[in-house]
Structure 1
Amino acid sequence: MIRRLTKEDHEQVFLFLQQDPSFNLFIIGDIESFGYDADFQDVWGQFDGNGSLKAVLLRYYDSYIPYAPGDFDADGFARLIRETARSLPVELSGKEEIARQFEERLPLGAKRTLYFCECRTDECARQEMGAFAVKTAGWADVDRIIDLRRRIPEFDTRPTARDMLVKAMETNSARTYYIEQDGKMVAAASTAAENSLSAMIVGVCTDQEHRGKGYASAIVAKLVCDLLAEGKMPCLFYDNPDAGRIYHRLGFCDIGLWAMYR
């Protein structure tokens, strides 16, 4: 049986998602930030005959994330997505072995597969922080963050990026650390989907003329140290081998693959 979840289900849902807290950080973060009644978010659950959860599906605006530790009703979830999707192709992401089950069931966007990693210790990160002045961004820095990202050729900064960053800051589910030179923000990294258990590090970027100085490594290292000190597991994606080597040097370990269809 698949049904919409409510706040009365929260304890069971949270225990279920804690089986895989890193891979579920987006679902956990969105539920903690926005609950079960927001008009831009829905959460459904599949239950077995004994009333135990078998799978969860999250809709956040026009994007979907499924999760199941084993077999689940992919056909049933696909029907829900077709009934509620407001645009095609469908945007879907998740643990690769779960997400790929929708490839023959839905009109999905182009697939991108990323390495998913987490960092359980700050031992390596503390050695990479260096003597740089890493600052914490505030509300006055929102436009500077977006402007820096737009200057990075590798970044696809969407028109909604500013609104999403503001909303995340309002719910304390995101923070940005940065380094500036002569009053200009030249490197930054942010978190997304921060929750009580974990956080995703995103938006790691350095202005082209300031690369090779260790700025991004220092910022990510500080994020790692601060998150772990708060009891949150730092996680991130990468698909660039050079970036992967840097993250591994900071103490991150690959734990699987993440698929995105957009």
Structure 2
Amino acid sequence: MNLGELRLIRKLTSHDHETLFSFLQEEASFNLFIIGDIESFGYNEDFQEIWGEFTEDGTLKAVLLRYYDSYIPYARSPFNVDAFAEMMKSKHDSIQLSGKTEVVAQFEKVRGLPLGKKRVMYFCECTSDTYVEEETNFDIKIATIEDVDRIIELRNGISEFKTTPSTRRMLLKSFETKTGRTYYIEENGKMVSSASTTAENSLSAMVVGVCTDERYRQKGYASAIMQKLIKDLISEGKRLCLFYDNPKAGNIYKRLGFYDIGTWTMYR
């Protein structure tokens, strides 16, 4: 970066919090990971940094979050892609990049940036419980940290799911930091269907891990759990977000009140 770029791009601190959140809240759903990480870990952790690019008059125009070796950029207008890319390259040989498609796609033309395999998913949100039934006939329970291994066991038994060694660690962390929750249904003491949230913050939450054991499908379990999630989070003043790349799955969520707001791209 040249001297001019250094003056316009700097690491943000708690003194920038109000300016940063005002900027991020314009598209709170797309920024739920950035918002959640800042609310959970602040500005002084070694594993997390957030950088901001400013205009000449001091207006924030773009941000870049680093969480370990993962990066999320966000901007609503043209920004210095090359400068942000140089910052990423200087810290890591392998980069995990994700974000709003229109933003992260601009990094594809940067030479020498080690991006991984590209995956584009639909991004949708739910801001109302209009389509939620008042009551269900199912006993839906809220998981505790003691249920983590049961959740992993359920997911491991489903062909559509790919768990990794970090899955358990991340699930534990979401319980410990209260940035996630899991609702589930069981039969004869066995967890057979569940849905979780992650990256919960004061404004929104990401829905993940919606699954049902293949032997217990077609009973409406997952739909009932999702309806409870929607009802509870909307009552807390939060919007729900989720990714999907299967149109059939998308139609199921849309019947519950979700609607598409764009696409999200990951490079892994």
Q: Do the structures match in fold with TM over 0.5?
A: yes
CA RMSD of the aligned region, Å? 1.1
Letter in 2 for 1:146: I
147-156 or 70-79, larger mean C-alpha shift: 147-156
| Alignment counterpart, residue 64 of structure 1, candidates 47, 55, 71 | 71
Q: CA deviation at 1:126?
A: 2.4
CA distance in 2, matches of 1:109, 1:211: 35
The residue aligned with 2:204 is 198
Cα offsets for 1:139-163 (capped at 9, x unmatched): 1101111111111211121101111
> Deviation per CA, 1:166-200, whole angstroms, max 9, x where unpaired?
11212111000111111111111111110011111
Aligned to 2:251: 245
Amino acid at match of 2:27: D
- Which residue of structure 2 lines up, in the alignment, with residue 170 of structure 1? 176
Paired residue for 2:24? 17
How much has 1:130 moved relative to structure 2?
Answer: 2.6
* Equivalent residue, structure 1, for 2:187: 181
Deviations 1:20-39 (A, max 9, x none): 00100010001000111112
Aligned length: 259
Shift of 1:50: 1.2
Where structure 2 has 5 or more consecutive residues not aligned to the other structure, the ranges are 1-7
**Which residue identity lines up with residue 176 of structure 1 in the other structure?**
T
Q: How does 1:1-262 map to 2 (within 5 A)?
A: 1-85=8-92, 87-88=93-94, 90-105=95-110, 106-126=113-133, 130-262=136-268
| Contact kept? 1:113, 1:260, Cα under 8 Å | yes
2-structure distance, mates of 1:211, 1:110:
32
- Percent same amino acid among aligned pairs? 61
Q: Distance in 2 between matches of 1:40 and 1:148?
A: 31
Corresponding letter in the other structure for 2:104 = A
Q: How many Å separate the matches in 2 of 1:183 and 1:20?
A: 41
CA distance in 1, matches of 2:108, 2:156: 31
Residues 54, 62 of structure 2: 8 Å contact kept: yes
Letter in 1 for 2:55: D
Conserved? CA contact 1:126–1:225, under 8 Å = no
TM-score scaled to structure 2, two decimals? 0.94
Report the Cα offset of residue 135 of structure 1: 0.5
> Partner amino acid for 1:96?
T
Helix, strand or coil for the counterpart of 1:19?
A: helix
Matches of 1:84 and 1:152, distance apart in 2: 37
Inter-partner Cα distance in structure 2 for 1:185 and 1:104:
46
Q: What secondary structure, in the 3-state scheme, does the structure 2 residue paired with 1:103 have?
A: helix
Aligned residues of 2:53 and 2:61 also touching (Cα < 8 A): yes
Deviation at 1:122, TM superposition (A): 0.4
The answer as to whether partners of 2:48 and 2:68 remain within 8 angstroms in 1 is yes
Structure 1 runs, 4 residues or longer, greater than 2 Å off: none
CA contact (8 A) 1:200 1:234 kept: yes
- How far does the alpha carbon of each residue in 1:83-134 deviate from its partner, in whole angstroms, 9 at most, with x for none? 122x42x21110001011111222211111111111121011226x631111
